[in-house]
Chain A
């Protein structure tokens, strides 16, 4: 069982995970100096979707969405939904791992084979997940100060180069997000994976989830704001990992001039947390769906599957971005909004009908 504080921190770190390096460049390229508003809108969408999930989870206390699907739609359709969610969690984990290895290969470790990153992360994450949700929650809670502290301190040190002119003209394009709906999907709707951890939260999970999404949205917005103010929209829209460049250019006095490896470590730890949650969700899905009794063998199978997925998830970052812009919204909307909404409708309908038949 994990506490609501741990659940909150897991939600925040999970949502921040890959966003900090995959989407900042795209957002600034699309909206210019007003890009910091996009995560705020996306966060609101995420919070609204979370309300659907909360309503669904509250209707069947102690059960996860996979179990609710089986209860509501019967064993056959429930199995289909379960396998769908298993596939979604595996694909998302593969995506996160591939984003990570792309980043590492491009910046500081160009000669390491990408699969080494994938397999090592899966090893460590698999071991942590096998220990249970307490380990996952506690590990993240302990790691968070070591992530948040150096991250914001590095950004604060970089503000020596701040220039307000980079953020002008301001407020010209606040609705840009609606032209680029893929940002509505990633990353906030992916927080659906957190619902698999819901049954393990002692109490107050609803507030923690919504607050976690809101905090992540505010953090991402602040980071985009700072990157725009430090690099300028022209450079930030073109540099692949602007947050890394921001920290690369930090010079604290004459001595501290190469602190960007700190940021790399923080980013890979955040991705690791994301992987933990996804692997836990996948593992829980398997055990609930098929009523299995062992843990390690399935973690091994998932490891094989996800490590293969990480290599074949996309051809290259350019193709990834093109297809993301086209399909992310539909893809995330389907499994994170449509299916939970249908499940909720089914559950409510059943209750209403049952209530009516009892009254008769």
Chain B
């Protein structure tokens, strides 16, 4: 009995060597948490540049009043190398702690690298066991160096600011999608599908923007980052841009759910419709050997933004709904035609054909031939706070 207990104690004590992870333990203050990464590649020399924006643990409310003034919430480091791994290792010339990239909230890539092709960056990211590919990837318009060294007001960590803005844009404006992560770029590119990524740019700067005293400026449109438009990506390469307006139409057709606002022509003027998309359903049908894709959208309409007109009768409601249906179906069809004329398969018809009709001889040709039929169905479901608009004569409706 004693021997058994002694043996058990010995075994437990020895296996403590594994549990304490003697070789792999790292204290939290030996790590530097990377919150945003920036990537670039020079097309001529092939030199890779990485920026790492790391969180400064000494900043925050308790750091106010420390000698030397307030601390910056993030620090940006830059390193270059002939390969991504070499560039990453060069950070240890500058950073005194081990980089922890799993904490990153966003990755930015320069437009020129996106236009050349991002496959090498994607392969490198997925090769690292501790890198996250489930974070948004944004294309940077303009100087990525400037963007990586720009502070953002209100949300002190720029990557959190960008990530939270993307979510708000998706939920309230349909100007951003949920599938804009590195892994979505990989998945869609491997399946030869198109994807649209958000574009980030720096807004005009006043004065010396490298220091934190832009905090004291009241103009929050300046000295920060802005998300603008969409970068159209095919097979890891950026091939074009989508404007803000087109972005909403693209997301509607892609099945994103979110709210947005649209001016709809109605009777003799316009009304502002506040709409919520409930998703898009696609169906593939065949007419005379030609594929026909029926996309059906369901929208919920609300009078929340409708300051021009308030429906009072059932006919008013039906008229409003059908006006929205017609206007949007027209805009969406025009968008689809415009982009398909450019050779952009943003509706992912090619992939739909490959999935539903895998035995097709020439899916590319079939995708180009396909007819698109878009149906929009709107229902008035929500209201603003007024049941009748104010009538005076001052001001336009």
Interface residues of A (CB under 8 A from B): 106-113, 116-117, 120, 123-124, 127, 165-166, 168-169, 172, 232, 234-235, 238-239, 248-249, 251, 258
- Establish whether residues B183 and A249, one from each chain, have CB atoms under 8 Å apart when the complex forms: yes
- Establish whether residues A169 and B15, one from each chain, have CB atoms under 8 Å apart when the complex forms: no
- Establish whether residues B356 and A169, one from each chain, have CB atoms under 8 Å apart when the complex forms: yes
Give the Cβ gap from B287 to chain A, nearest Cβ, in Å: 22
In the assembled complex, the Cα of A232 lies from the Cα of B187 at a distance in Å of 7
- Establish whether residues B17 and A116, one from each chain, have CB atoms under 8 Å apart when the complex forms: yes
B358 within 8 A of A: yes
Residues of B with C-beta under 8 A to A113: 23
- Establish whether residues B21 and A109, one from each chain, have CB atoms under 8 Å apart when the complex forms: yes
In the assembled complex, the Cα of A195 lies from the Cα of B380 at a distance in Å of 67
In the assembled complex, the Cα of A251 lies from the Cα of B163 at a distance in Å of 14
Q: A234-B190, A235-B183 are known contacts. Are A123 and B355 too (CB-CB below 8 A)? A: no
In the assembled complex, the Cα of A116 lies from the Cα of B256 at a distance in Å of 50
Q: A232-B187, A234-B190 are known contacts. Are A109 and B14 too (CB-CB below 8 A)? A: no
Q: Which residue of B lies closest to A169 (CB)?
A: B358
User: Binding site of A, secondary structure by majority: helix, strand, loop or mixed?
Assistant: loop
Q: Which residue of A lies closest to B19 (CB)?
A: A120
Q: Mark B167-190, 1 if CB is under 8 A from A, else 0.
A: 000000000000000010011001
- Establish whether residues A111 and B23, one from each chain, have CB atoms under 8 Å apart when the complex forms: yes
Q: A169-B355, A251-B134 are known contacts. Are A123 and B24 too (CB-CB below 8 A)? A: no
In the assembled complex, the Cα of A174 lies from the Cα of B37 at a distance in Å of 43
Partner of B134, one of A108, A166, A168, A249: A249
- Establish whether residues B355 and A108, one from each chain, have CB atoms under 8 Å apart when the complex forms: no
Partner of B15, one of A120, A166, A248: A120
**Which interface class (under 10, 10 to 19, 20 to 34, 35 or more) fits B?**
20 to 34
Residues of B with C-beta under 8 A to A238: 126
- Establish whether residues B187 and A107, one from each chain, have CB atoms under 8 Å apart when the complex forms: no
In the assembled complex, the Cα of A258 lies from the Cα of B104 at a distance in Å of 12
B112 within 8 A of A: no
Give the Cβ gap from A296 to chain B, nearest Cβ, in Å: 8
- Establish whether residues B183 and A120, one from each chain, have CB atoms under 8 Å apart when the complex forms: no
Q: Mark B200-231, 1 if CB is under 8 A from A, else 0.
A: 00000000000000000000000000000000
Given contacts A112-B23, A235-B187, 20 further A-B contacts (CB under 8 A): A107-B129, A110-B24, A113-B23, A116-B17, A117-B18, A120-B15, A120-B18, A123-B11, A123-B14, A123-B15, A168-B355, A168-B356, A169-B354, A234-B187, A234-B191, A235-B183, A249-B134, A249-B183, A251-B134, A258-B102
Q: A116-B18, A117-B18, A120-B18 are known contacts. Are A165 and B355 too (CB-CB below 8 A)? A: yes
B47 within 8 A of A: no
In the assembled complex, the Cα of A111 lies from the Cα of B21 at a distance in Å of 9
Give the Cβ gap from A247 to chain B, nearest Cβ, in Å: 11
Residues of B with C-beta under 8 A to A165: 351, 355
- Establish whether residues A109 and B24, one from each chain, have CB atoms under 8 Å apart when the complex forms: yes
Q: A168-B355, A169-B354 are known contacts. Are A124 and B24 too (CB-CB below 8 A)? A: no
- Establish whether residues A120 and B129, one from each chain, have CB atoms under 8 Å apart when the complex forms: no
Q: Which residue of B lies closest to A113 (CB)?
A: B23
Could you pull out 15 A-B pairs where Cβ atoms are within 8 angstroms?
A107-B129, A110-B24, A113-B23, A120-B14, A120-B15, A120-B18, A123-B15, A124-B11, A127-B8, A168-B355, A169-B358, A234-B190, A235-B187, A248-B134, A249-B133
